[in-house]
Amino acid sequence: PADAIRILLDQRPDAGGLAVPDMPIGSPGMEMGGQSEPFEVILWGDSGNSVFARY
């Protein structure tokens, strides 16, 4: 989501980037008629992965 990217650019953590695995329904690019399911945005990098945000 755009606001997760804005937070990433604001915080500039030492990481490779963000990912949303598994194409959850309702995530950006996976809109399906207003349906949605909860999903996590993962911060990934050399020091490991962690949950960056939940939607």
Q: Which is nearer to Cu ion, 32 or 51 (CB)?
A: 32
Cα separation, 10 vs 53, in Å, equals 14
Compute and round to an integer the Cα radius of gyration of the chain: 12
Min CB(21)–Cu ion separation in Å: 11
SS3 content of the chain, % helix, strand, coil (to 5): 20, 25, 55
Please tell me whether residue 30 binds Cu ion under the rule CB under 5 A. Answer: yes
Q: Which is nearer to Cu ion, 4 or 30 (CB)?
A: 30
Among 9, 12, 14, 23, contact with Cu ion (rule: CB under 5 A)? 23
